[in-house]
Amino acid sequence: MEMPKVFESEYRFCLILWEHEPVKSSELVKLCKEELDWKPTTTYTVIKRLSERGVLKNENTVVTSLVSKDEVQAAEIDELVEKRFGGSLPAFIAAFTRHRKISSEEIGEMQKMIDRYRREGEDG
């Protein structure tokens, strides 16, 4: 199953949902008014749209997500790497690091991820 697209304003809504779920839609309306300055109709429209796209479900006015924050973020990165860097992760990393200083701690974390990925690849 392909990950449903979540647009920027919808993502901000999802951040609220992920933090509070399961949550009544009326409570989401209040939270979105406070945090996003949305009108109730806007919140209900976004709930309906995201429900139709399979991002969340709204049963008996209780809203829960069907996709996680990690899944949405991974899909966004995949799309970015594919669209802007021809699917090349090294090209993406090169562009990212060209204009951003990376700390020794971040380099260490990335090296651990690479090492873990290598080990899993050898085991599988």
In a domain, 24, yes or no: yes
In a domain, 80, yes or no: no
In a domain, 81, yes or no: no
In a domain, 50, yes or no: yes
Return the pLDDT at 124: 58
Structural domain boundaries enclosing 119: 88-124
Q: What is the SS3 assignment for 57? A: strand
- Are 60 and 12 contained in the same domain? yes
Residue 52: CATH number of its domain? 1.10.10.10
Return the pLDDT at 59: 97
Mean pLDDT of the chain: 93
Q: Is 2 exposed, middle or buried (0-12, 13-18, 19+ CB in 10 A)?
A: exposed
Tell me the pLDDT tens digit for each residue of 20-77: 999 999 999 999 999 999 999 999 999 999 999 999 999 999 999 999 999 999 999 9
- Are 12 and 65 contained in the same domain? yes
- Are 65 and 12 contained in the same domain? yes
Task: Determine the Cα–Cα distance for residues 21 and 64; give it in Å rounded to an integer.
Answer: 6
- Are 31 and 62 contained in the same domain? yes
- Are 13 and 50 contained in the same domain? yes
Is-contact 63 25, C-beta < 8 A?
yes
The model carries a pTM of 0.79
Return the pLDDT at 2: 78
- Are 54 and 93 contained in the same domain? no
In a domain, 78, yes or no: no
CA distances from 43 to 21, 60, 67 (A): 15, 16, 18
**Helix, strand, coil content of the chain in percent (nearest 5):** 70, 10, 25
pLDDT of residue 123 exceeding 80: no
Q: What is the SS3 assignment for 56? A: strand
Total tally of structural domains belonging to the chain: 2
Return the pLDDT at 4: 86
